[in-house]
Amino acid sequence: MARSDGATGGQGGSPEAPRSQERGPGQPQASQGMSIRIGSLDGSAVNFGSHGSATTTNVTQTVAEPVQQRELLEAVRALREDLARFTATEDMEVLDAELVATEEEITASGAADRNRLQRLRDSLTSAGEVVAALGSGLAVGELVASLLGS
């Protein structure tokens, strides 16, 4: 909590005595008895004074619904089981590695990040016809597309 009325950060200290300052021509006199209280600030920048500056950069990431991430985890596991029934090709081995990494990421952090989803989509595309023929492959592809917004 920030306070400009002289109290020390909400810790109950005693107010400081006002300081007298010499003002040059064109500088306004300070208002006596004015106080400002700021309860909290999140994602903001504040500037006080005529020569100060405040800059803020807010980065917002779309957070997928936990339900979609759980559905993706289930679909990834189902696809891995289905792929085990086929003779492995190089593309299928790469896809399986991406499925394992996706499963681990969702299990550890609750969500697969955008980069992981893009790599998984690329691996699904490379594995091609086998994945397209499997219901579990279609489910993973649709969920990845939904989470990526494409």
Q: What is the pLDDT of residues 116-126, one digit of tens each?
A: 999 999 999 99
State the Cα–Cα distance between residues 142 and 102, nearest whole angstrom: 15
Q: What angle do CA 24, 29, 34 make, to 5 degrees?
A: 150
The low-confidence residues of the chain, meaning pLDDT below 70, are 1-34, 36-49, 55-65
How many residues comprise the chain?
150
Q: Write the pLDDT tens digit of every residue in 48-62.
A: 667 777 766 655 454
Q: How far apart are CA 22 and CA 1, in angstroms?
A: 30
pTM equals 0.56
Q: Mutual orientation of helices 114-127 and 135-148 as an angle, nearest 10°?
A: 140
Q: Which of 125, 100, 105 lies closest to 115, judged by CA?
A: 105
